[in-house]
Amino acid sequence: MTSKRANYVCECKAVFRNEIVNSIKKGHAQTLLDIQNLTKASTGCGRCKNQVEWIINTELEKKRKHGLQLRLNL
Ligand code: FES
């Protein structure tokens, strides 16, 4: 059985991955500071910082590829 705690990216601030992803997709967050301000993730002990940065980079890369795809389809 998986505990609810295991689903948090940031356990200190109880932030889920989808909150970070949505902040990037809908809130246009692009940096760790943006995510910290919008979700409070990675504003506690800092243990999740690398994972939050990885999510940011992954989602921004997806947005870049999607944007390129849209331009190619015009
Ligand atoms: S786990 Fe994210 S700040 Fe501690």
How far is the CA of 39 from the CAs of 30, 49, 57, in angstroms?
Answer: 13, 13, 16
Asked whether 45 lines ligand 1 (CB < 6 A), one says yes
In degrees, rounded to 5, the angle at the alpha carbon of residue 32 between the alpha carbons of residues 25 and 35 is 50
Torsion of CA 20, 23, 29, 33, to 10 degrees: -50
CA of 65 to the centre of ligand 1 (A): 30
Q: What is the pLDDT along the chain (74 residues), one digit of tens a residue?
A: 445 555 899 999 999 999 999 999 987 899 999 999 999 999 999 999 999 999 999 999 998 888 777 777 76
pTM of the model: 0.84
Give me the residue label for tokens 């919008």: 38
CA of 49 to the centre of ligand 1 (A): 7
Q: Which fold has domain 4-72?
A: Arc Repressor Mutant, subunit A (1.10.10)
Dmax (CA) of the chain: 47
Asked whether 50 lines ligand 1 (CB < 6 A), one says no
Mutate to test the pocket of ligand 1, among 15, 45, 50, 54 (most ligand atoms within 8 A of CB): 45
